Protein backbone atom coordinates (compact mmCIF):
# COMPACT_ATOMS: atom_id res chain seq x y z
CA UNK A 1 0.00 0.00 0.00
CA UNK A 2 1.31 3.43 -0.95
CA UNK A 3 1.62 6.01 1.82
CA UNK A 4 1.05 9.68 1.05
CA UNK A 5 2.82 12.21 3.24
CA UNK A 6 1.15 15.61 3.52
CA UNK A 7 0.65 18.32 6.11
CA UNK A 8 -2.21 19.20 8.43
CA UNK A 9 -2.37 22.90 9.25
CA UNK A 10 -2.87 22.06 12.94
CA UNK A 11 -0.88 18.85 13.46
CA UNK A 12 1.98 19.03 10.96
CA UNK A 13 3.11 16.05 8.88
CA UNK A 14 0.65 13.17 8.50
CA UNK A 15 0.73 9.93 6.52
CA UNK A 16 -2.36 8.75 4.66
CA UNK A 17 -3.47 5.97 2.35
CA UNK A 18 -4.91 6.66 -1.11
CA UNK A 19 -8.41 5.94 0.25
CA UNK A 20 -8.00 8.80 2.76
CA UNK A 21 -7.84 11.48 0.06
CA UNK A 22 -10.23 12.92 -2.50
CA UNK A 23 -8.91 14.76 -5.53
CA UNK A 24 -11.07 17.51 -7.02
CA UNK A 25 -9.95 18.25 -10.56
CA UNK A 26 -10.40 21.67 -12.12
CA UNK A 27 -12.47 21.35 -15.32
CA UNK A 28 -10.42 21.71 -18.52
CA UNK A 29 -7.13 21.92 -16.60
CA UNK A 30 -4.60 19.44 -15.23
CA UNK A 31 -4.72 20.94 -11.74
CA UNK A 32 -7.05 20.89 -8.77
CA UNK A 33 -6.96 20.32 -5.05
CA UNK A 34 -7.10 17.37 -2.73
CA UNK A 35 -8.79 17.02 0.61
CA UNK A 36 -8.47 14.74 3.60
CA UNK A 37 -9.54 14.50 7.21
CA UNK A 38 -6.53 14.69 9.51
CA UNK A 39 -6.20 11.37 11.35
CA UNK A 40 -5.27 13.21 14.56
CA UNK A 41 -7.48 16.31 14.86
CA UNK A 42 -10.09 15.20 12.26
CA UNK A 43 -10.18 18.68 10.68
CA UNK A 44 -10.95 18.57 6.96
CA UNK A 45 -7.94 19.90 5.06
CA UNK A 46 -7.60 21.18 1.49
CA UNK A 47 -4.34 21.42 -0.43
CA UNK A 48 -3.65 22.67 -3.97
CA UNK A 49 -2.61 20.08 -6.54
CA UNK A 50 -0.47 21.15 -9.47
CA UNK A 51 -0.08 19.00 -12.59
CA UNK A 52 2.63 16.83 -11.01
CA UNK A 53 0.64 16.19 -7.81
CA UNK A 54 -2.51 15.39 -9.82
CA UNK A 55 -0.58 12.86 -11.92
CA UNK A 56 0.90 11.17 -8.84
CA UNK A 57 -2.41 11.02 -6.96
CA UNK A 58 -4.22 9.57 -9.97
CA UNK A 59 -1.43 7.03 -10.54
CA UNK A 60 -1.70 5.68 -6.98
CA UNK A 61 -5.47 5.37 -7.17
CA UNK A 62 -6.82 8.38 -5.28
CA UNK A 63 -10.54 8.85 -5.97
CA UNK A 64 -11.41 11.97 -7.90
CA UNK A 65 -14.26 14.18 -8.95
CA UNK A 66 -14.35 16.91 -11.54
CA UNK A 67 -15.01 20.06 -9.56
CA UNK A 68 -17.91 22.31 -10.23
CA UNK A 69 -17.92 26.02 -9.70
CA UNK A 70 -20.03 27.11 -6.78
CA UNK A 71 -23.11 29.11 -7.70
CA UNK A 72 -23.44 32.33 -5.72
CA UNK A 73 -26.59 33.45 -3.93
CA UNK A 74 -26.84 36.41 -6.33
CA UNK A 75 -26.72 34.08 -9.35
CA UNK A 76 -29.53 31.99 -7.87
CA UNK A 77 -31.63 35.10 -7.25
CA UNK A 78 -31.03 36.29 -10.83
CA UNK A 79 -32.08 32.90 -12.16
CA UNK A 80 -35.27 32.87 -10.08
CA UNK A 81 -36.14 36.37 -11.28
CA UNK A 82 -35.61 35.33 -14.90
CA UNK A 83 -37.91 32.34 -14.35
CA UNK A 84 -40.56 34.62 -12.87
CA UNK A 85 -40.33 36.94 -15.88
CA UNK A 86 -40.46 33.97 -18.27
CA UNK A 87 -43.54 32.61 -16.51
CA UNK A 88 -45.26 36.00 -16.67
CA UNK A 89 -44.51 36.23 -20.40
CA UNK A 90 -45.90 32.83 -21.27
CA UNK A 91 -49.04 33.23 -19.13
CA UNK A 92 -49.74 36.68 -20.63
CA UNK A 93 -49.61 35.34 -24.19
> Mind listing the pLDDT tens digit of every residue in the chain (93 residues)?
789 999 999 999 999 999 999 999 988 888 999 999 999 999 999 999 999 999 999 999 999 988 766 667 787 888 888 888 888 888 876
Across the chain, the runs of DSSP E, i.e. the strands, are 3-8, 12-17, 21-25, 32-37, 44-49, 63-66
Q: Which of 66, 7, 61, 63 is nearest to 38 (CA)?
A: 7
- Please state whether the predicted TM-score (pTM) of the whole model is above 0.85: no
Amino acid sequence: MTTIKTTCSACGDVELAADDLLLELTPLEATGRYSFDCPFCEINQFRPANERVVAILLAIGVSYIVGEEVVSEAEIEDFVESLDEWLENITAA
